[in-house]
Amino acid sequence: MEAPQDNAQLLSDCAPYVKFAKLDELLALGRANSLWPLTFGLACCAIEMMAAGASRFDLARFGAEVFRPSPRQADVMIVAGTINKKMAGAVKTLYDQMPEPKWVIAMGNCAISGGPFVFPGQYAVVEGVDKLFPVDVFIPGCPPRPEALIEGLLKLEEKLTGKRRWPVVKPD
Amino acid sequence: MLVKEVISPPGAPNETFVINLGPQHPATHGVLRVKITMDGEYVVRAEPICGYIHRMQEKMGENRTYAQYLPNTSRIDYLSAMTYTHGFVGAVERALKLPVPPRAEYIRVLTSEMNRISSHLVWWGAFLLDLGGFTPLLYAFDDREKILDLLESITGSRLTYSYYRIGGLYNDIDDAFIKGTREFVAQMRPRLKMYKSLVTDNIILRKRLLEIGPISKDMCRKYGATGPVIRGSGVPYDVRKIEPYSAYPEFDFVVPTFEEGDSMARYLVRMEEMAQSLRIIEQALDKLPSGPVMAEKVPRVLKLPAGDYCYAVEAARGRFAVRIVSDGKEIPYRVKLRTPSLSNLSLFEEASQGMLLPDALALMGSLDLVIPDIDR
Amino acid sequence: MESAPTPVASPALPNPLAHLPIPFQAVDYAAKGYHLDATVAPDQVVTVAEQLDKEGLALDTITGVDWLAQGQMEIVYDYFHPAKALRVVVRTRIPRDNPEIATIQKLFPGANWHERETHDFFGIRFLGHPNLTPFLLPEDATYHPLRKDFVSC
State whether residue B156 sits within 8 Å of chain A by CB. no
| Nearest chain C CA: its distance from A45 CA (Å) | 21
Would residue C19 count as lying in a domain? no
**What pLDDT is attached to residue B226?**
92
Please tell me which of the candidates B54, B230, B333 has its beta carbon nearest to residue C82. Answer: B230
> Of B78, B338, B349, B347, nearest to B233 (Cα)?
B347
Instruction: State which residues form the domain around C84.
Output: 25-127
pLDDT by residue for chain A (172 residues), tens digit each? 555 567 888 878 887 887 777 898 888 888 888 899 987 888 889 999 989 988 899 888 888 888 888 899 998 999 999 999 999 999 999 999 999 899 999 999 999 998 899 988 888 899 999 899 999 999 999 899 999 999 999 999 999 888 888 888 787 7
Q: Do B235 and C82 touch (CB under 8 A)?
A: yes
pLDDT > 70: what percent of chain C?
A: 92
Give one DSSP letter per residue of C10-37, joined into a string.
Answer: -SS---TTTTSSS--EE--HHHHS-SEE
DSSP code, position B294: B
Q: Do A119 and B23 touch (CB under 8 A)?
A: no
**What pLDDT is attached to residue C10?**
43
Q: What is the mean pLDDT of the segment spanning B281-301?
A: 90
Residue B328, classified by CB atoms within 10 Å of its CB into exposed (0-12), middle (13-18) or buried (19+), is exposed
Give one DSSP letter per residue of A99-143, joined into a string.
Answer: PSS-EEEEESHHHHH-GGG--TT--SB-S-GGGTS--SEEE--SS
**What pLDDT is attached to residue A3?**
55
Identify the residue among A83, A84, A85, A86 best suited for mutation to test binding to C, counting C beta carbons within 10 A and taking the highest.
A86
**If contacts are CB pairs under 8 Å, which of residues 15-54 in chain B contact chain A?**
23-26, 30-31, 51-54
The per-residue pLDDT for range B188-225, each reduced to its tens digit, is: 999 999 999 999 999 999 999 998 889 999 999 999 99
Residue C6 banded pLDDT, cuts 50, 70, 90: very low
| Nearest chain B CA: its distance from A28 CA (Å) | 29
Residue B296 banded pLDDT, cuts 50, 70, 90: confident
H helix count then E strand count, chain A: 6, 4
Query: What are the sequence ranges of the domains in chain B?
Result: 17-375
pLDDT reading at B12 higher than 70: no
| Total-model pTM | 0.90
| Nearest chain A CA: its distance from B290 CA (Å) | 33
Residues of A in contact with B134 (CB under 8 A): none
Q: What is the mean pLDDT of the segment spanning C139-147?
A: 89
- Determine the Cα–Cα distance for residues B146 and B151; give it in Å rounded to an integer: 9
In order of B132, B328, C2, C3, C100, the CA distances from C30 in angstroms are 47, 20, 15, 12, 34
| Nearest chain A CA: its distance from C143 CA (Å) | 10
Q: What does CATH list as the number for B17-375?
A: 1.10.645.10
**What pLDDT is attached to residue B7?**
55
pLDDT reading at B1 higher than 50: no
> Of A44, A115, C149, nearest to B78 (Cα)?
A44
Cα angle, residue B360 at apex, residues B358 and B364 outer, rounded to 5°: 115
Element (H, E) at B94: helix B81-96
CA atoms within 13 A on the CB side of B146: 19
| Nearest chain B CA: its distance from C132 CA (Å) | 13
Please tell me which of the candidates A85, A120, A122 has its beta carbon nearest to residue C138. Answer: A85
- Determine the Cα–Cα distance for residues C1 and A51; give it in Å rounded to an integer: 49
Distance in angstroms between the alpha carbons of the first and the last residue of chain B: 36
The per-residue pLDDT for range B351-375, each reduced to its tens digit, is: 999 899 999 999 999 999 999 999 8
**What pLDDT is attached to residue C8?**
43
Strand ranges in chain B using DSSP code E only, listed in sequence order: 17-21, 33-39, 42-49, 164-165, 168-169, 307-315, 318-326, 334-338
**What pLDDT is attached to residue A120?**
87
DSSP code, position B250: G
Cβ–Cβ < 8 Å for B301, B330? yes
Comparing alpha-carbon positions, the chain B residue that sits nearest to A82 is: B53
- Determine the Cα–Cα distance for residues A167 and A151; give it in Å rounded to an integer: 11
The per-residue pLDDT for range B157-193, each reduced to its tens digit, is: 999 888 999 999 988 999 999 999 999 999 999 999 9
Structural domain total, chain C: 1
**What pLDDT is attached to residue C113?**
93
Comparing alpha-carbon positions, the chain C residue that sits nearest to A123 is: C152
Comparing alpha-carbon positions, the chain B residue that sits nearest to A90 is: B23
- CATH 3.40.50.12280 corresponds to the domain A35-160: yes
pLDDT reading at C3 higher than 50: no
Q: Do B30 and A46 touch (CB under 8 A)?
A: yes
> Of A44, A57, A67, A79, nearest to B138 (Cα)?
A57
Query: What are the sequence ranges of the domains in chain A?
Result: 35-160
Cβ–Cβ < 8 Å for C34, B310? yes
Q: What is the mean pLDDT of the segment spanning B306-318?
A: 92
pLDDT reading at B341 higher than 70: yes
The per-residue pLDDT for range C25-75, each reduced to its tens digit, is: 888 888 888 899 999 999 989 999 999 999 899 999 999 999 999 999 999
The per-residue pLDDT for range B36-66, each reduced to its tens digit, is: 999 888 999 999 999 999 999 999 999 899 9
**What pLDDT is attached to residue A163?**
85
Q: Around Cβ B244, how many Cβ atoms within 10 Å?
A: 17
Determine if the peptide bond prior to A143 is cis (ω within 30°): yes
Mean pLDDT of chain C: 86
Residue A93, classified by CB atoms within 10 Å of its CB into exposed (0-12), middle (13-18) or buried (19+), is exposed
